[in-house]
A and B are shown apart, each in its own frame.
Chain A
Amino acid sequence: MDILQILISDSFWAAALRIATPLIFGVLGALICEKSGVLNLGIEGIFAAGAMAGWMAVWLGAGLWGGLLVAALVGGFFGLIHAILTVPLGLSQHVSGLGVTMLATSVSYFTYRTALPQVSSPPKIVPFQPLDIPVLSDLPFVGPVLFQQTAMTWLALVMVALVWWVLNRTPLGLAIRAVGDNPDAVDAQGLSVYGLRIGAVVAGSALMALGGAFLTMSAFDSFFFGMVNGRGWICIALVIFASWRPGKALLGALLFGAFDAFQVRLQTEVGAFVPSQIFLMAPYVLSIFALVIVARRAEYPGALLKPWFKGQR
């Protein structure tokens, strides 16, 4: 009975959507990169960089939207490093991505520590507030779940539609999908393989950084070391789960958010009998499980991980 009560409560679904929000940004970002043929393991570090940069900008006096812009630019910058290393230089996407994660994380931590040497409690900003739309926010169930989220959750949902539209309904999207599948054909069309891939990785990384920024500018109001806590890696698993489709990516992130919100609530029910760590482990175990189920059927973009050099067939 208790479980049913959890599943029909509005606070549960509101929490699920809130937990899913950074993952939606992250999965979309990783999806764009991979559609163009580039795996971006820089995601975990770019999350940290977005979280730090967006928060820091607001703390220094920028507006919240200005902070998001800063986060996106910083994410794009680290994406550019990964793109240069993996696209024109054709270096190992795995190793380069891990390098970018280490670089982005250490730059963020170093910058934060340098700007704020040993503070007793982390300083706070005024984060995005829950929307308060007349009538809509007061609707039963739908109001709390959808219309009392922050603007960033809505931005994430808009991004799902935008990424779907660009990838599936525009010539640019066709070119991005083609370059991740058959770069020779794109080259034969006279389009720049390098340009498309670099652009996709930079744009995808900017989206990832927004996912990080959600953590410090909407979910919480300050920056902590280690706050990303594997969310980036979970996004990499979710992209495969979503078969590189924006709609399924949204679904995957929501399922994940629902599961995470559920385990927190279940914990209060049965916490006396089961160690809390079992629940903490669950999201990561679930990600591996999802990966194993879909792995055999996954249709990877044809040229994913494969470097391409102009003039070499």
Chain B
Amino acid sequence: MIRIEPRDAPSRWWTIGVPVASALIALLLAAIPLMAAGANVFEAYAQMAKGIFGSKFAFTEMLTRATPLIFTGLAATMAFRAKLWNIGAEGQLYLGAMAAVVVGTGLIDAPSIILIPIILLAGAAAGAAGMAGPTYLKTRFGADEVVTTLLLNFIILIFLQMMLEGPLKDPMGMGWPQSEPIVDNAILPQLMPRMRIHSGLIIALVAAGVAHVMLSKSVWGFKLRAVGENAAAALHAGIGVKRTMMSAAIVSGGLAGIAGVSEVAGLRGYLTTDLSPGFGYTGIVVAMLAGLSPIGVVISAIFIASVFVGADTMSRAMGVSSYLADLVVALSLICVLIGGFIARYRITRTNKGGQ
């Protein structure tokens, strides 16, 4: 008879090996759709590599793409650690971007050193509010936060359209639904001349470091993990479960909001409804691939960004649909789930009837 039993604490090798293997397997599995599309598989992989490592520009583009994914990956990590299912990072990102536009297009006139922290804080506050709402509905009324955050994503995107056709519309925008440009003093500085890479990346890396310390070294992080692992036991131990969840929600939503600020003030310069091609949802994959570790999020965001940027290049060169990237991202999530199972359990044979 086959039994599934938990393994002793998975070793460090498993925790690092599983995500790496999952990512590689997902990349290899991409060969199947590539063949189905009639493409030369080796050339396709070569084109993808070229799209990431082919030039200094390509490499900085990849890091530019990784920046919002680090933020949304951290957002998912902080919430999921408390077993708070924030699937609304996409909407919270747009709330952050809207706040940045409200504050950063001329409302406040201040030097960069003051204005940039202000728009970051405004974006974080808007994103945090976007997650605090569903969390309140969960703790007060028991409304499932998965459903409410998912539905809020749609509501917020429609709200954004309304704002961009109304109060936030750029009067000089030739009728396009886009916001006024962010003022120069609120623009996040470029990191390299003639490249799009911007200091949002630095902020993302600092955020990952801070998140790591808060999660593994602070009392708050301990409470958060306790609530996530066993809410009943945490409550019994005197931890304010609802308060802890709300604080996780605020941190998570805030990080997603900063992702929006970083995109709008670091990359685009103004806000449109296509600011994010699903960074919020992809952040969930980033977080899972990272094993919900903030430092791991940086690495997995770079991997996922590479897949997207590489697939774009491959798509342009070979005419294969760039939806291949989404396929690889989905496959890596499923692979890392299965890998996590293999790391946690082992399958053993026992004699029939024997204990």
B150 engages A281 (CB within 8 Å): no
Write out the residue numbers on chain A whose beta carbons fall within 8 Å of the beta carbon of B155.
281, 284-285, 288
Given A94-B146, A292-B141, A309-B4, check contact A107 B327 (CB 8 Å): yes
Cα–Cα distance between A284 and B162 once the two chains are bound (Å): 15
Write out the residue numbers on chain B whose beta carbons fall within 8 Å of the beta carbon of A251.
none
Query: Which of B142, B159, B320, B334 touches A81 (beta carbons < 8 Å)?
Result: B334
Write out the residue numbers on chain A whose beta carbons fall within 8 Å of the beta carbon of B162.
275, 277-278
B5, B166, B334 — most chain A CB neighbours (10 Å): B334
Write out the residue numbers on chain B whose beta carbons fall within 8 Å of the beta carbon of A284.
151-152, 154-155, 158
The dominant DSSP class at the A interface is helix
Write out the residue numbers on chain B whose beta carbons fall within 8 Å of the beta carbon of A288.
137, 143, 147-148, 151-152, 155
Assess whether B121 is interfacial by the CB under 8 Å rule. Answer: no
Closest to B161 in A: A277
Q: Which of A212-247 contact B (CB under 8 A)?
A: 229-230, 233-234, 236-237, 240
Q: Which of A88-102 contact B (CB under 8 A)?
A: 88-92, 94-96, 98-100, 102
B337 engages A291 (CB within 8 Å): no
Write out the residue numbers on chain A whose beta carbons fall within 8 Å of the beta carbon of B144.
240, 291, 295
How far apart are A293's CB and chain B's nearest CB, in angstroms? Answer: 8
Assess whether A280 is interfacial by the CB under 8 Å rule. Answer: yes
Contacts between the two chains (Cβ within 8 Å), count: 138
Query: Which of A88, A113, A287 touches B151 (beta carbons < 8 Å)?
Result: A287
Assess whether A110 is interfacial by the CB under 8 Å rule. Answer: yes
Cα–Cα distance between A310 and B142 once the two chains are bound (Å): 31
A233 engages B323 (CB within 8 Å): no
Cα–Cα distance between A311 and B348 once the two chains are bound (Å): 12
B326 engages A113 (CB within 8 Å): no
Write out the residue numbers on chain B whose beta carbons fall within 8 Å of the beta carbon of A94.
85, 146
A240 engages B147 (CB within 8 Å): yes
Assess whether B331 is interfacial by the CB under 8 Å rule. Answer: yes
How far apart are B96's CB and chain A's nearest CB, in angstroms? Answer: 19
B141 engages A103 (CB within 8 Å): no
Closest to A294 in B: B143
Assess whether A125 is interfacial by the CB under 8 Å rule. Answer: no
A292 engages B324 (CB within 8 Å): no
Assess whether B36 is interfacial by the CB under 8 Å rule. Answer: yes
Given A85-B334, A110-B33, check contact A280 B326 (CB 8 Å): no
A291 engages B158 (CB within 8 Å): no
Closest to A85 in B: B337
A99 engages B161 (CB within 8 Å): no
B3 engages A237 (CB within 8 Å): no
Write out the residue numbers on chain B whose beta carbons fall within 8 Å of the beta carbon of A95.
284, 288, 333, 337
B141 engages A296 (CB within 8 Å): yes
Closest to B36 in A: A114
Given A98-B87, A114-B321, check contact A233 B150 (CB 8 Å): yes
Bin chain B's interface residue count: 35 or more
Given A91-B341, A107-B327, check contact A114 B37 (CB 8 Å): yes
How far apart are B347's CB and chain A's nearest CB, in angstroms? Answer: 10
Assess whether B340 is interfacial by the CB under 8 Å rule. Answer: yes
Give the A interface residue count (CB, 8 A): 49
Query: Which of A102, A114, A237, A277 touches B330 (beta carbons < 8 Å)?
Result: A102
Assess whether A69 is interfacial by the CB under 8 Å rule. Answer: no
Assess whether A105 is interfacial by the CB under 8 Å rule. Answer: yes
Query: Which of B148, B151, B319, B331 touches A103 (beta carbons < 8 Å)?
Result: B331
A110 engages B337 (CB within 8 Å): no
Given A85-B338, A103-B330, check contact A233 B147 (CB 8 Å): yes
Write out the residue numbers on chain B whose beta carbons fall within 8 Å of the beta carbon of A98.
87, 281, 284, 333
How far apart are A74's CB and chain B's nearest CB, in angstroms? Answer: 15
Cα–Cα distance between A310 and B4 once the two chains are bound (Å): 8
Query: Which of B4, B5, B33, B326 touches A105 (beta carbons < 8 Å)?
Result: B326
How far apart are B268's CB and chain A's nearest CB, in angstroms? Answer: 21
A109 engages B158 (CB within 8 Å): no
A110 engages B323 (CB within 8 Å): yes
Assess whether A258 is interfacial by the CB under 8 Å rule. Answer: no
Query: Which of B142, B159, B321, B326 touches A281 (beta carbons < 8 Å)?
Result: B159
Closest to B325 in A: A106
Cα–Cα distance between A92 and B199 once the two chains are bound (Å): 36
B5, B85, B154, B329 — most chain A CB neighbours (10 Å): B154
Assess whether B165 is interfacial by the CB under 8 Å rule. Answer: yes
Q: Which of A146-197 contact B (CB under 8 A)?
A: none
Write out the residue numbers on chain B whose beta carbons fall within 8 Å of the beta carbon of A102.
281, 285, 326, 329-330, 333
A85, A98, A236, A311 — most chain B CB neighbours (10 Å): A98
A-B contact pairs, 17 of them (CB 8 A): A85-B334, A89-B341, A92-B337, A99-B285, A102-B330, A106-B330, A109-B326, A237-B147, A275-B162, A281-B155, A284-B154, A284-B158, A288-B143, A288-B152, A295-B137, A298-B142, A309-B4
B residues adjacent to A (C-beta < 8 A): 3-5, 33, 36-37, 85, 87, 137, 141-144, 146-148, 150-155, 158-159, 161-162, 165-166, 281, 284-285, 288, 319-321, 323-324, 326-327, 329-331, 333-334, 337-338, 340-341
A residues adjacent to B (C-beta < 8 A): 41, 81, 85, 88-92, 94-96, 98-100, 102-103, 105-107, 109-110, 113-114, 117, 229-230, 233-234, 236-237, 240, 275, 277-278, 280-281, 284-285, 287-288, 291-292, 295-296, 298, 309-312
